[in-house]
Structure 1
Amino acid sequence: MTTAATKKNTARAAEADDELAYVTLDFRGVTYTVPDRDSAPMEVLEAESDYEALRLILGEEQWAKFKATKPTVGAYRKFNTAVYEAMGEDDAGN
């Protein structure tokens, strides 16, 4: 038997699961805010490359901020790893 209190608690739990969480990281003097791994947009899973996934995670504004630093490929790889670690992922897919 489901009570009103149980329904209310279930609804609260569902709402909590839908809350988005973000983390910040600093990379080479620039601060970025990224979603934690469970808050990242679904499109990240559909990305055809790590490059595309990182761009989706950052969003256009932060992607432009990163690109403005004139990164090398090596810096990109380090940044990609730093972002995934900040998100709580074990493997950045590099």
Structure 2
Amino acid sequence: MRHLLSLPMACTLAACALNTASITPTTPQWDRNFGAAARATLAQQVMHADAGRNGDPVAGMDGRSAHAAYERYQKASSEPAPQPSAFTIGVSGAK
């Protein structure tokens, strides 16, 4: 008895699977433009797309000056800002 019921159910499920594979998408406009906004945003963020192919050196700081600027930046962000004394709050002349 189980075999008699399982055969029509299997055929029905197979027919449903074949039927849904042949249906065209109901949102062709959305599917065609899927991701277009993300691609446009990425393209707007790229200033010089061919910069990797440019063999000319970049004009700017020399290595010694760049390294010194980097060291100053690292030192400034690692040291905490000095806290004013609690007794000087509201006293004129404090910056």
Larger radius of gyration: 2
State whether TM-score is above 0.5.
Answer: no
Instruction: Give the helix-richer structure, 1 or 2.
Output: 2
Q: TM-score, normalised to structure 2's length?
A: 0.25
Q: TM-score, normalised to structure 1's length?
A: 0.25
Higher relative CO (Cα under 8 Å, sequence separation at least 6) belongs to 1
Instruction: Give the strand-richer structure, 1 or 2.
Output: 1
